[in-house]
Amino acid sequence: MELYIGGFAQGKLEYVTNKYNCAKVYDGKNYKNLIQNVENKMITEKIVILDHFNDIIRNLFESELENAVCIAERLTEWLICSEEKYKYKLVIISDEIGCGIVPMEKLERGYRECCGRMLIKLADRADIVERIICGLPQKIK
């Protein structure tokens, strides 16, 4: 697994797609398509890119506030385990969202905290972690 993080509009997807030009890209807004395709063995690509991981967490908090953290934890574990189980390389791209002012709204605080915690889990299991700034990679792991 590989994890790429960085600020909004810093060139993360372009950097990753230039690195893996034949990979299938799934958007975090439609992550259920990825889960369905993986579990139905419809993924034939050796490399799968999941863009906007942070949007998955945001959508969970907007639609499932009471269970959002539990669902996010299960989804993150599924992402980690599915790579080995289904024999593909997973590349996750996420915006960094926790480097600003702590928001006053409960939903925003919960979303940021949960996203940060899930990214910690992903980074711990990833073979490569890079931060992209102005389209340039900064190797973290």
pLDDT tens digits, one per residue of 60-84: 888 877 889 999 999 999 999 988 8
Which of 63, 75, 58 is CA-nearest to residue 112? Answer: 58
Tokens 């690195």 sit on residue = 19
Statement: residue 92 has pLDDT above 80: yes
User: Is pLDDT of 121 > 90?
Assistant: yes
What residues form DSSP beta bridges with 136?
133
Please state the pTM of the whole predicted model. 0.91
Lowest mean pLDDT among 34-43, 70-79, 125-134: 34-43
Residue 97 near residue 54 (C-beta atoms within 8 A): yes
CATH number of 2-139: 3.40.50.300
Q: Is the pLDDT of residue 11 over 80?
A: yes
88 SS3 class: coil
CA–centroid distance for 64 within its chain: 18
Instruction: Enumerate the domain spans of the chain.
Output: 2-139
